[in-house]
Structure 1
Amino acid sequence: MKNPISSAVEDYLKAIFELGEKEVKTQDLAALLGFSPASVTGMLNKLSKLNLVIYKKYYGVSLTKDGRLMALETIRHHRLIETYLMQALGYEWHEVHDEADRLEHVISEDFEERIAKIIGNPSYDPHGDPIPRKNGSMPQLLGKPLILFEVGSKIKLTRITKQDSDVLIYLAKHELKPGEIFRIEARAPFEGPVTLNQGKKPISIAYNLAKSIYAQTAI
């Protein structure tokens, strides 16, 4: 099992990557991780000495090549575990994130490869997030937010970026998951709701939530 310091390092690198990986503001990192800005600054100085990040006060933090590869490895673990928990162990998609957060730091590379093989070496996790490949490359991000589609468009959902448990439970209740096909029935003006229809009862989705639901044109 990896030691707590290593786990903390991986959490920081993963968070920096998720926030854009370059010139990430300290306050944004602190907000995501739930730590004080002073604590974050202290850790960034340590990561800089390890050559995992480039940190300049007032200019933010960026991942180095080594830091980026370590972040991608942790993200690969996380998303493979989420997929495995759903496919092999019957977890619901709102249950897998916290479990994956705990397990991503402790699995071996052999275990990673075994679960990847069992679930068919997927390119995307249950939420539609791309799973980094072993060589550090990333599958293409698919789709664009619902708010960018015209009324009447036939769409296939590809990704959910807002992954709070209550949101995922709500989306699952209405079958709003990657792979499902809908038609854009209406878009209210002034950042109003987007209405989808799957041939059943129309579903109205608040603008802020619709921004986090990605789709591509369905054939």
Structure 2
Amino acid sequence: MPVSDLTHSAQDYLKLIWTATEWSATPITISVMAERLGVTPPTVSDGIRKLARQGLLSHAPYGSIELTDLGREHALTMVRRHRLLETFLVEVLHYGWDEVHDEAEVLEHAVSDALIERIAAHLGHPTHDPHGDPIPTADGQPHLPAAGQLTTVTPVRGVTITRISDANPDMLRYFSELGLRPNTRLTVLGQRPYADVTSVRVEDSGNEIDLGSAAAASIWVVSS
């Protein structure tokens, strides 16, 4: 069964299940899926049962949701489409990085595999999207960098931003104002967990910034 034979909602479910554990070890639940997809938990439960009957995932009662090999293959196909489309929208059509997620959510269901591969070739086969999320290869191989959240970095250390979560467009605009993007070099000056503050210096500008816990947890870094 090619991924194009699946309904749009099935494609969304598989992509969400895979991406939810891409940067976290915590399995996704039906209630969380319902919240992210804007539907009711019973609707998600019904969709999960259908995908299980198609051999795309397994879900024991009150247990975790696990993709089968075929389900994982389809999920990575959708992730690849989404992230290549985001990259195309930013690099070729000059969208802002805070604008592309919703556009890609619509387009990823309509494009063909052939068009996606032409986009990839036109872009020079990029390995990361504008937010730093890795783009799976055409044969479905993800390549997650050995990155950690900024909140976990011990001061005083130099780090480079490798990924910023695109879950909140307002936060992306805030990061743009601060000069924080993938490949930006920082020095972590302090962690104040009881105040929920991470203090950093942006190396290129010398600006010192205090980030709240939600902002700092949205940034993934590697040691410089």
What is the TM-score of this pair, normalised by structure 2? Answer: 0.89
Structure 1 residues 191 and 120, CA, compared in 2 at 3 Å: closer, same or farther? farther
Gaps of 5+ in 2: none
| Bigger Cα displacement from structure 2, 30-39 vs 82-91 | 30-39
Amino acid in structure 1 at the alignment position of 2:14: L
The CA distance in 2 between the partners of 1:154 and 1:23, in whole Å, is 31
1:5 shift after superposition:
6.1
Structure 1 residues 5 and 66, CA, compared in 2 at 3 Å: closer, same or farther? closer
The CA distance in 1 between the partners of 2:116 and 2:122, in whole Å, is 10
Structure 1 residues 151 and 123, CA, compared in 2 at 3 Å: closer, same or farther? same
1:154 shift after superposition:
1.4
| Bigger Cα displacement from structure 2, 195-204 vs 205-214 | 195-204
The CA distance in 1 between the partners of 2:9 and 2:193, in whole Å, is 44
The 3-state SS of whatever aligns with 1:98 is helix
The CA distance in 2 between the partners of 1:24 and 1:143, in whole Å, is 21
Off by >3 Å, runs of 4+ in structure 1: 2-5, 21-24
Amino acid in structure 2 at the alignment position of 1:72: L
Tell me the equivalent position of 1:210. 216
Within-5 A mapping of 1:1-219: 6-20=7-21, 24-198=28-202, 199-218=205-224
The CA distance in 1 between the partners of 2:89 and 2:46, in whole Å, is 35
The CA distance in 1 between the partners of 2:119 and 2:215, in whole Å, is 32
User: Alpha-carbon deviations, 1:49-103, whole Å to 9, x = none?
Assistant: 1111112222242111111110100010000000111111111100000000000
Identity of aligned pairs, percent? 32
The CA distance in 2 between the partners of 1:197 and 1:94, in whole Å, is 23
The CA distance in 1 between the partners of 2:94 and 2:52, in whole Å, is 41
1:4 shift after superposition:
10
1:171 shift after superposition:
0.3
Structure 1 residues 24 and 83, CA, compared in 2 at 3 Å: closer, same or farther? same
Amino acid in structure 1 at the alignment position of 2:61: K
Gaps of 5+ in 1: none
User: Alpha-carbon deviations, 1:156-180, whole Å to 9, x = none?
Assistant: 1101125311000000111110011
The 3-state SS of whatever aligns with 1:89 is coil
| Bigger Cα displacement from structure 2, 27-36 vs 115-124 | 27-36
Q: How many residues align?
A: 217
The CA distance in 1 between the partners of 2:14 and 2:4, in whole Å, is 16
Structure 1 residues 158 and 58, CA, compared in 2 at 3 Å: closer, same or farther? same
Structure 1 residues 24 and 189, CA, compared in 2 at 3 Å: closer, same or farther? closer
What is the TM-score of this pair, normalised by structure 1? Answer: 0.91
Structure 1 residues 114 and 151, CA, compared in 2 at 3 Å: closer, same or farther? same
Computed over aligned residues only, the root mean square deviation of the Cα atoms, in angstroms, reads: 2.0
Structure 1 residues 24 and 146, CA, compared in 2 at 3 Å: closer, same or farther? closer
Asked if the contact 1:129–1:141 (Cα under 8 Å) also holds between the matched residues in 2, the reply is: no
The CA distance in 1 between the partners of 2:156 and 2:19, in whole Å, is 33
